[in-house]
Amino acid sequence: MCRNTLSVDWQGYVYDCDFNQMLGLDLGGARTHLSQITTDKLERTSIMVGDHCYGCTAGQGSSCSGALKTEPVRG
Q: Given phi > 0 = left and psi -120 to 50 = alpha, else beta, which region is 69?
A: beta
Residue 61's CB: how many other CB atoms inside 10 A? 15
pLDDT given at position 11: 96
pLDDT band per the 50, 70, 90 thresholds, residue 58: low
Q: What is the DSSP string of 10-40?
A: TTSBEESSHHHHHHT--GGGS--BGGG--HH
Q: Where in the chain are the domains?
A: 7-64
Q: Is the pLDDT of residue 3 over 80?
A: no
| Residues 49, 8: Cα–Cα separation, whole Å | 17
Q: How many CB atoms lie within 10 A of CB 1?
A: 17
Q: pLDDT of 17-44, one tens digit each?
A: 888 999 999 998 889 999 999 999 888 8
